[in-house]
Every structure is written in structure tokens, then in C-alpha cells.
Structure 1
Amino acid sequence: MIFDYSHYFILTIFIPLCFCYNFRNTFIKLNDNENDRPQQIHISLGSNKNDIIITWTTYSSCNQTVVKYGIEPNQLNQNAIGNCNEFIDGGPKQRKHFIHRVRLSDLKPSMRYYYQCYSSDGFQTLSSTMYSFKTQNPANDWNARLLIFGDLGLENGQSIPRIKKEIDDNNVDLIIHVGDFAYDLDSNDSYVGDEFMRIIEPIAARVPYQTCPGNHEHKYNFSNYINRFTMYDMIDGNINNHYYTFNVGPIQFIAFSTEFYFFIQFGFAQTFRQYHWLEKTLINANKNRHERPWIITFGHRPMYCGNNNYDDCTRFESIIRKGWPYVGLGLEDLFYKYGVDMEIWAHEHSYERMWPVYNATVQNGTVDPNNPYDNAKAPVHLITGSAGCKERLDPFRLPLPWSAKRIVDYGYTKLTIINRTHLYIQQISDDLDGMIVDSFLMIKNHDLPVWLR
């Protein structure tokens, strides 16, 4: 009898592939007895400067939503009770998540607090790992240190270990994630999102993790993004994960959704509401310039970019800049009118710093000819979308006049508040073992930007 090796070959290839596939689709599932242990813990700023919001997930019940906390790790002598909501993913399995939220109120400023989250399976109370965070310094010249990035995925999330080390070394006060999470939060019946949230827990459970949505969050009308995060607007005191505002030292940050302009199948009204909210928020921010002279916005898709693709920002009249034909709602004129100092973006998987620019025309600074960001005459745009994801990096085309610096490698941005008049921005390369590959100093000697004086 002659042995047919072709069958053996097929089996040796097919069986390992099946094993790998099953492994990939099951390795992020928890054992049943872990379903109600608090996980995917992350914190965010509350509606006032003395609040912190703690959010986490369980899988089988809302039986208990409690945080124990205190200023000593062995004395968690304060309790806070929160609320829990059921979230059903839109995928084929219609998986249930139970999202727990607890507000810690009236915290002392510049104080380290330790905490544990508690949930129940109906028979026993299950606790999380103990974490700690430090509350904000309320001073308007607080020397806060922020990490800013977008487009961070579960697969090829290259910058995650270095970001965690920054947290371990106590080098970070707050993180801003400028859209596109996990790739994607809803993928594989949201198992990918669950694992991503577990991976970032050692980061996001220790410093406020502020977010805005990107295009990869759009599935099921952004439901995974909306339900998993908790972003409070400091003006109206409500949760709005699409657009909201918060303060850090001398900066008022304004988060918004660029995705309303593109996923119009979910309606038009939200774009009008956001535009009017942005104008109202910017008017209020300008009334408060003496206390917070800097206004910085962040949204996912940029107005300007130099990448070699066909995204909106590669077109001369981008939708974000100029709005829809015959309708408008473009943001460039609005942000210029109310003196936004810096506009931070992601989406492009690269780093790009622009000269101060308005209406596609460079408007460099007025004081130091060697530093165009010294009292700049227009907003400064910055793209930081190279934290790492499965779509890899985006190359550049020939530079356009407003492009000042372009880097194609993995990394993230660090913003350091030096004082009320000086902000220092650095780009950290993960490929080059933490090397600073770009830096610049923004200076503003007056509460208002040059073009509003």
C-alpha cells in the first residue's frame, strides 16, 4: 500500500491553523469565576477639579458597584457607591457588558489616593488590583506633564510598554488618546476591545485617560466607545464622550468629534449641535483667558497633513476645515475666530508638526525669527497618530508649505506646561528607545493670541 503524503501534508497545515485560530478567538475570554471581578479599570476627570471618575467592566451582573479608597494603601477607609449599566455589543453574539461608574468627590488637591474596585457575583464580593492616582494641582501655572497620541491598537501597540514605564517613573499627570482604539473596540464580538482595555489598565487606572472618538469607533453608532468611556464636560456637568471640555493648569482643552462629518448615516443633527456647543464653549473660554490663557483642541481627523494617501486632509478643501458644501460648519474659521492656540490631531499614522497656519497660509511668530512659535500669528497644528496599530505607519508625499517636521516611526507626544506663557512639546520615538526626535517651545506673552489683540 502506498501512503498518500498529500493528506498528511494537508493535516499538518490545517490542524495547527485551526488551533491558532481558536486560540486567537478564545485567549481573551475569562474563566467563569472571573466574570464579576472588576477589570478594564480606567479613570477620567470629573465635572469639577476635585472629582475623579472610575470606570470598569464585569460580565454577568450589576450586583455591586463600590470603590474603597484612602490616602494610605493599608487604610482604604472611605467608600463611594456608583451606578452600573448594561451594554449589549452590536455583534452577532450580542455580548453583554456591565459598565460600572463611581465618582470620587471632594478629593484633596495634589494628593495621592489609593483605591480598589468591588463587584459581586451574587455570592461573594470580588475586588480589583489596588491602584493609585494623584489629584490635580489647582494652580493655574501647574507644571503638568501630558502624553498625547492616537491610533493605538491591540495588535502592534508598540508604544504601550514605554508609556507604562513613563507612568511607573511618575513622569505623567494625564493622557489624551486622540481617537482610534484597539482596532477595533467592536472587533470579534468586542473581545478585541475587552483585551485592549485590559492591556491599558495599568496605564489608564493610574492617570486620567481622556479620549475622543476616531473613525475606527463608528461601528453600531459608536456604541462601544460611548459605553466604555466616561468623559465629563466641566461646563454642563454631563457625560458626553463625543465633545466636552476640561482644564489642566493654564490650558482649557476642548475635545470634539470629527466623525460626525463623515458618518452621516447616523444623522446630521449632532454635527449642528456640536458646532454650536463649540462656539459657546470657545466664547466662555475667551472670557476666562486671564485664568487660562491657552486653548487647545483635539479631534481625530486633521485639517492639514502631508501623508501619501487620499484622506480628507490631503484635499485642499477638507471637510473638517471648510465644512460641507452649501451647509458649512467648517472648523478652521471658528477656531481662528476664537483664538485656539493649538489643534491636536491623529488619524495619520505618523508625526507631523505644522508651522502656524491659517487658510493654507503660513503665519509664523512675531517676536523671535528663530522660533516661529514665539507669539505665533495663527494656530499650531500637530498630528500624533503613530502610537502603534495593525495598519502600521503612513508614508509622506512631497512636503507642503505649512509642514515643518515629519517623522515616520512609532512614538507619542509629550506636552509639558512650563508656566503660563511657555509650553514645551516633544515627540518621543519608541523605535529609537525613547529618543526625543522633535521638540519646540510655544510662547505667548499675552492672554490672547496675537491675531486677537
Structure 2
Amino acid sequence: MVSVQTASLLLSFAPLLVLSVPPIWTQPEQVHLSYAGVLGSMVVTWTTFNKTDSKVEYGLQGGRLFEMSAEGDATVFVDSGEEKRKMFIHRVTLTDLKPAATYVYHCGSDEGWSDIFSFTALNSSSSFSPRFALYGDLGNENPQSLARLQKETQLGIYDVILHIGDFAYDMHEDNARIGDEFMRQIQSIAAYVPYMTCPGNHESTYNFSNYRNRFSMPGQTESLWYSWNLGSAHIISFSTEVYFYLEYGMELIFKQYNWLKQDLEEANKPENRAARPWIITMGHRPMYCSDDDQDDCTKFDSWVRVGRNDIKPPAPGLEDLFYHYGVDVELWAHEHTYERLWPVYGDKVYNGSKEQPYVNPKAPVHIITGSAGCRERTDRFNPNPKEWSAFRSTDYGYSRLQVVNTTHIYLEQVSDDQYGKVIDSIWVVKERHGFSAWL
């Protein structure tokens, strides 16, 4: 019989004994979708902390549950923090999906399955009118817009989410546990619609490794830049950060610039521009802004816009490139505010007309939407903005965009401070697209 003293001693060591046994983490989590850039496809990405198979079982809504299955593989991601935490990022691409059909799915393996989710396969028609939610700078702490976005996504309001840089604040913190928690938070959005991304400055630690490993965007650039088509729009996502983090490779500026030029040339071929006349870009740091940040917004010479002449060889900016190839709408974040600009090029306003500035504008339309909510709160505005600033708000919120048809785009801003009220909206109307539209 064990004495009372011995029993007490064993009990005191019990927590240490339990901690010495590592948990088995085969349960899928952090499930999110992305568009593979190929018609009839969707990528399902998720995480486990032990090695398992990678399988998605799915079926048409209303049909036999899980009558189809697809397999993929997992890559090992070791975070560069002190603990060198290891996780397995699973990717499975579903193919031959019926356009606009709704599918029910779960993912995992025989060692653990996710909840059941659903998604609607993207409509491949160029006459489709897709609806987007767009925002940047959404954090794990103070995510003001998250609840409304979760509900609206599950109500089927959106076809795609665009997250324009800065995730979690920050994904690498606490040995990437903040990244895990953020990905769990957005699962209630991203497991239902494609969650399309671009990198921001808050992803820069360890050479953007958390961003590059966790997301699965089209192309072969580890989600740093890519393009895809939806409805009558050609959408380009790129990295503004290549201009700022030269320690990770100055050549990335030129590699991305050359890729952008080739992509825009292809999009401007007459047959392509006729089918998808709208060209929309998304990048994190804006070319123009009027926050009182003593940085890009107050210097008016953004490296993204005008390039860098302080390095050899000099690096070209993107404003002239986008203008030359007739980019219609440019979406940005980074500033923790909402700002709509008049059509602008070369620091000058080029409205379509005084009465209808966004009808046949003579320059691209810029929207900054970085107020979804993070621990850094919202920013303050410069009290004396330049003439291209049309509307500004410091309310927490996010934007909506609908590509209605080949001539009309609708944009609006939702305020979380005002309980979902639409506080700004415009129609961008273009009868012509491409460089000739500016003349």
C-alpha cells in the first residue's frame, strides 16, 4: 500500500508527467479556400500539427454526401521562432467543378475530419457579376469587422474575399501561435468563399515565411504576385513590399515588374480586353493617401508609385506601368482608414467631368480600405489633403465591390462604428477600357 507521503509526492509530479507526453494533433484546422486560377477548380488548404494524409470528400449540395474525393499532399512548415514549431500545411485541388454549383465538403483524413462546409464553384462566364468584400489590416486582436463579415459570408453575400495585406498582427508572434489563432478566426469566412490575398509589411518577419507557407494563391510565386479572371475582370495581386525589404532580394522588384508588364500585355490583347475589359489591381501600400503618418502619405513620392532611384540599378515604380496599360481600379490598404480618391495620375486629378467624375474617368480610380480592425487602431488624417482626396473616414469598416458588367463597377464602404451603415458609394462607368480611354 502506497503511503500518504508517497502519494502526495507522485501527485506533485503529475503535471510534469503529463507535459512530457506530446499531444496528438491530427485534427484539421484553419480551413480556407482559394481559387487555383484554372476554370472549374478550387484549392482547399488546412493545417495539422502531426503528419496525416490530405483528403477532401465532397459532393453537390442536395446529392449524396461525400460521393467524390480528392487527394493532395502536405508540406512541412517550421516557424523560425525560438521553439521552431512545426506544422503540416495540407493542399488539395478540386477540379472539374460545375460552374456556379454549390458543393458540400469536409477535409482531413481517417485520423480526423473537419466540420462540414460548403462553397459555390466560381462562375466561369465573362458575363457573371461577382461580388467582393475587400479590406486589409485585420488583426487577431480588435478585429472590428470580423463578426459582420462572418455573418454576411455565411449568408452568401460574397463570391470572393480580398484581403489586401497585413494579417493577424502578427502571424509570426508567439512562435506563430498568433498566426494559428488568426487562421482559426477567419475559417468561418475563408472555408466558404475563396480568400484571396497579397502580402503586407506585417508579414515581413523571417522573409514572409508565415504568409508564403499558409496561403495558396495561383501561380508559382508563393502567393507573392499572381493574376486571375472572374466575370468581366482581370484581377492582379502584387507585393508592394519588394520595394521596402531589399534584404530579401533586390531582384524581386525587377522580377515582379517584368511579370506585371507581361501579364498586363497579355490582358490587353484585343480578344482578352474585349472579354474582360476591367483590370483591377490589389497591393498593400498605396500610391496616394492623406493620413498624417509622416511617411508615404505626407511625402507624396511613394516608392511604389515612382520607384527607387537610391539603388543601383534604379527600380521603376508602378504608376506609369499601370496607366500605360489602362488599369481601371487600384485597391490598397496599409493606412488604417478608408479613403476614396478622384481619378488620379501624376499627382493630378483627371475626372471624367465635373458633374460625373467617375463616368469615363481619365485616370485610374484608387480606393484605400485598411480599417477592418487591428491592435494599432485607426489612423488620423492630415487636415489639409491634396485635391485628389474625395472622401475619407476613420470609422472601422470594410469595402464591397461588384463587377456588374463590362461598363459598370459599384463600390461602397461599410461602417462598423455605425452598425453596418453604407457611408460611401460610387459607380465607376467606362464605355472604353485600355490606354485609349484616358485620351
The TM-score with structure 2 as length reference comes to: 0.91
The one-letter code of the counterpart of 1:91 is G
CA distance 1:424–1:450, change in 2 (3 Å)? farther
Equivalents in 2 of 1:417, 1:228: separation in Å?
28
Shift of residue 451, structure 1, vs aligned partner: 3.8
2:234 aligns with one of 245, 248, 252: 252
Shift of residue 452, structure 1, vs aligned partner: 5.2
| Residue of structure 2 in register with 1:184 after alignment | 170
| Residue of structure 1 in register with 2:23 after alignment | 32
| Residue of structure 2 in register with 1:118 after alignment | 108
Shift of residue 139, structure 1, vs aligned partner: 1.7
Contact 1:377-1:449 within 8 A present in 2 as well: no
Contact 2:325-2:434 within 8 A present in 1 as well: no
The one-letter code of the counterpart of 1:305 is C
Residues 287-316 of structure 1, C-alpha deviations (whole Å, 9 max, x = no match): 111000000111000010000012224212
| Range with bigger deviation, 291-300 or 306-315 | 306-315
Equivalents in 1 of 2:345, 2:211: separation in Å?
32
The one-letter code of the counterpart of 2:268 is N
2:371 aligns with one of 363, 386, 391: 386
Contact 1:51-1:107 within 8 A present in 2 as well: yes
| Residue of structure 1 in register with 2:385 after alignment | 399
Structure 2 gap segments, 5+ residues each: 1-21
Q: Secondary structure, in 3 states, of the residue corresponding to 2:274?
A: coil
| Residue of structure 2 in register with 1:224 after alignment | 210
| Residue of structure 1 in register with 2:289 after alignment | 305
2:340 aligns with one of 348, 353, 367: 353
The one-letter code of the counterpart of 1:393 is T
| Residue of structure 1 in register with 2:324 after alignment | 337
Equivalents in 1 of 2:216, 2:352: separation in Å?
38
| Residue of structure 2 in register with 1:164 after alignment | 150
Q: How does 1:71-150 map to 2 (within 5 A)?
A: 71-72=60-61, 74-119=64-109, 125-150=111-136
Contact 1:301-1:313 within 8 A present in 2 as well: no
| Range with bigger deviation, 315-324 or 143-152 | 315-324
The one-letter code of the counterpart of 1:391 is E
Equivalents in 2 of 1:275, 1:115: separation in Å?
38
Shift of residue 140, structure 1, vs aligned partner: 1.2
| Residue of structure 1 in register with 2:8 after alignment | none
Equivalents in 1 of 2:415, 2:119: separation in Å?
26
Contact 1:348-1:386 within 8 A present in 2 as well: yes
Q: Secondary structure, in 3 states, of the residue corresponding to 1:91?
A: coil
| Residue of structure 2 in register with 1:276 after alignment | 258
| Residue of structure 2 in register with 1:12 after alignment | none
Shift of residue 270, structure 1, vs aligned partner: 1.0
Q: Check if 1:68 corresponds to 2:54.
A: no
Contact 2:253-2:315 within 8 A present in 1 as well: no
| Residue of structure 2 in register with 1:14 after alignment | none
Residues 244-295 of structure 1, C-alpha deviations (whole Å, 9 max, x = no match): 0011101100000000100111111111100000000000011111000000
The one-letter code of the counterpart of 2:375 is K
| Residue of structure 2 in register with 1:444 after alignment | 430
Q: Check if 1:417 corresponds to 2:403.
A: yes
The one-letter code of the counterpart of 1:358 is Y
| Residue of structure 2 in register with 1:42 after alignment | 32
Equivalents in 2 of 1:95, 1:119: separation in Å?
22
Equivalents in 2 of 1:343, 1:72: separation in Å?
36
CA distance 1:322–1:239, change in 2 (3 Å)? closer
Residues 344-374 of structure 1, C-alpha deviations (whole Å, 9 max, x = no match): 10000000000000000000015xx422010
| Residue of structure 2 in register with 1:371 after alignment | 356
Q: Secondary structure, in 3 states, of the residue corresponding to 1:189?
A: helix
Q: How does 1:198-213 map to 2 (within 5 A)?
A: 198-213=184-199
Shift of residue 239, structure 1, vs aligned partner: 5.2
Equivalents in 2 of 1:445, 1:135: separation in Å?
30
Residues 168-203 of structure 1, C-alpha deviations (whole Å, 9 max, x = no match): 221110000000000001011000010000011010
The one-letter code of the counterpart of 1:268 is M
Contact 1:376-1:449 within 8 A present in 2 as well: no
Equivalents in 2 of 1:313, 1:321: separation in Å?
12
Residues 124-160 of structure 1, C-alpha deviations (whole Å, 9 max, x = no match): x210001000011122121211000000000000100
1:318 aligns with one of 263, 288, 302: 302
| Residue of structure 2 in register with 1:286 after alignment | 268
Contact 2:342-2:357 within 8 A present in 1 as well: yes
Shift of residue 448, structure 1, vs aligned partner: 3.0
Contact 2:324-2:435 within 8 A present in 1 as well: no
The one-letter code of the counterpart of 1:117 is C
Equivalents in 1 of 2:360, 2:237: separation in Å?
24
The one-letter code of the counterpart of 1:94 is K
Equivalents in 1 of 2:388, 2:438: separation in Å?
21
| Residue of structure 2 in register with 1:428 after alignment | 414
Contact 2:28-2:112 within 8 A present in 1 as well: yes
Equivalents in 2 of 1:328, 1:225: separation in Å?
24
Q: CA RMSD in A?
A: 1.3
Shift of residue 45, structure 1, vs aligned partner: 0.3
